[in-house]
Structure 1
């Protein structure tokens, strides 16, 4: 009898609709994506701008950035590469984590790229350099064009940009930089240059190693989120986009490798997009590769982010939740 019960249980699992297991997101067959930047534009669709890992790539040598959009978070439209390293005159490698923005009737893609080689065995021999560029388009799906022909600055070395535009239209750029973490700089109104100096923010005395910041605003409160020690997602809050910031703790524990995320509200649901390092059956290599995933995000009464776990379902029931509002 027990064997029959087990068999029936297995059959029931296999019979579940495909929508019940949609994490990681199904963005494309054999397409490896990471570092998702999520935004909701005027057409009512949710867009993801991602980096693109080449299959079994060596040391993050990546060549283009992709965009995807959806209205139900299960069925995604792939808009192909929206910008590539070959389109740049000032960089030839490292198409890492992008972000996007809408301002002045234009869509903007802010992205890191670089040159040189990183010598992991003897760092003193490394020639790697990275900077942050910005490209424009009349469409959220591109193609995007590098309008300034160079990075926004050359020193400090920088990547992982997060471009936050406040309610008053002012734009703030946060990033990961060599000796320049926890800094912010204001952008010019046309987003083609920075204005003023880099501001070192007051983080309340808690400044662990970090990557990929993401800044958003909810109910008048600003959130500075990041992978703490490049792994665990943590957050701070403030009453100003420049701080001072109050540390509020980790909301997602580390898994197999680095994490990079974004947070957005869509159809009254707060969502976390991030990437996971997972085994890929049938891949040309045995190492784990990165895949974009999503979860629902919730807040405590004091405004802090409630701790969450990774799930295999993710946001597969988003359409059902929306219909039941």
Structure 2
């Protein structure tokens, strides 16, 4: 090849590589991953997703970390069914929180269909975000259906007063309960009830809550997770208990980009930027388990409402959490 042409080609590839590194791209990492729980630990963004596969193969968790939303490091098999003796299959929908220099990882397992089956929502603990994790209880934390909610899709939330709450539920029902400080069980509410239903209109699964300007933003997924109609809706409430009145849809399919955008989480960075981390299906792919993890910017109207998110192929520019 002509030396000049070789030099031009090399420069072109370098510029292309540099341009690619300026944004995260979507998906943000390789592989079939869904239900991403994104959170900032120690000035890094961590994503804990479901390994998206048939339920008999969905038996472990990987994690991913990034200092800038663009470059990601994979942490393989932070734990699996060998570490959780009661979990046999279908491990998914994680939620994680740090407390007293320990990391508590909540997850669903076994896809139980009634109160007589073994499984539900468990919790594991580790000294580092990447593990190794061990079973905190040796049994599920929630193993029964309360108010019709399948014990899946949990989210742990710390309120401003230092209280920890657990919000969860599938089968179109959502419950809230107050966690004990050591996460080994629950504290009944003042009326003696331990699990309260707070299901908003349209709710299917995948609850997530964040607080902004004194208001609780309650978010959830609607539609079927294997289909193109999967989407995220939200409410804004004065209290965590609600009522959570549906405002509208803020994340959904784009026929030019991807389908079934849903089951998300939100991160807030030091420069007051908000990002939504979610999964979607590649265009034209008919396998329901083929889901990829993506990130896009989330912005607000002057009145605090969330603007509809534009899902992209480019993802987001580099930003330190």
Common fold: TM-score over 0.5: yes
- Structure 1 pair 202/47, CA: closer, same or farther in 2 (3 Å)? closer
Q: Is the 8 A contact 1:40 1:46 kept in 2?
A: yes
Structure 2: stretches of 5+ with no match in the other structure: 1-11, 189-193, 225-229
Q: How many angstroms does 1:24 deviate by?
A: 2.1
Q: Is the 8 A contact 1:20 1:313 kept in 2?
A: no
Cα distance in 2 for residues equivalent to 1:233 and 1:202: 14
Cα distance in 2 for residues equivalent to 1:68 and 1:260: 17
TM-score in terms of structure 1 length = 0.80
Q: Is the 8 A contact 1:214 1:262 kept in 2?
A: yes
Mapped pair 1:81 → 2:84: no
Cα distance in 1 for residues equivalent to 2:210 and 2:56: 27
The equivalent of 2:252 in structure 1 is 253
**What is the CA RMSD across the aligned residues, in angstroms?**
2.8
The equivalent of 1:161 in structure 2 is 154
Match 1:151 to one of 140, 146, 154:
140
Match 2:21 to one of 16, 19, 22:
19
Query: Which digits, 9 at most, give the CA deviation of each residue in 1:51-102, with x for residues without a partner?
Result: 112xxx4357411111111111110111212121221121200111101001
Cα distance in 1 for residues equivalent to 2:142 and 2:213: 33
TM-score in terms of structure 2 length = 0.81
The equivalent of 2:219 in structure 1 is 225
- Structure 1 pair 221/95, CA: closer, same or farther in 2 (3 Å)? same
Structure 1: stretches of 5+ with no match in the other structure: 1-10, 119-123
Q: How many angstroms does 1:202 deviate by?
A: 6.8
Number of aligned positions between the proteins:
287
Cα distance in 2 for residues equivalent to 1:85 and 1:279: 32
Q: Is the 8 A contact 1:235 1:247 kept in 2?
A: yes
- Structure 1 pair 270/115, CA: closer, same or farther in 2 (3 Å)? closer
Query: Which digits, 9 at most, give the CA deviation of each residue in 1:31-68, with x for residues without a partner?
Result: 32111101112x21111111112xxx435741111111
Q: Is the 8 A contact 2:252 2:260 kept in 1?
A: no
Q: Is the 8 A contact 1:26 1:74 kept in 2?
A: yes
Secondary structure of the residue that 1:259 maps to in structure 2?
A: strand
- Structure 1 pair 303/115, CA: closer, same or farther in 2 (3 Å)? closer
Match 1:107 to one of 99, 103, 107:
103
Secondary structure of the residue that 1:260 maps to in structure 2?
A: strand
The equivalent of 2:314 in structure 1 is 313
Deviates more, 1:14-23 or 1:150-159: 14-23
Cα distance in 2 for residues equivalent to 1:299 and 1:143: 38
Cα distance in 2 for residues equivalent to 1:237 and 1:86: 40
Cα distance in 2 for residues equivalent to 1:15 and 1:313: 14
> 1:292-311 counterparts in 2 under 5 A?
292-311=293-312
Mapped pair 1:67 → 2:68: no
Secondary structure of the residue that 1:34 maps to in structure 2?
A: strand
Secondary structure of the residue that 1:174 maps to in structure 2?
A: strand
Secondary structure of the residue that 1:136 maps to in structure 2?
A: strand
Cα distance in 2 for residues equivalent to 1:93 and 1:218: 37
Query: Which digits, 9 at most, give the CA deviation of each residue in 1:113-168, with x for residues without a partner?
Result: 0167x8xxxxx9xx976410011111111111111011112211310111111122
Q: Is the 8 A contact 2:46 2:63 kept in 1?
A: yes
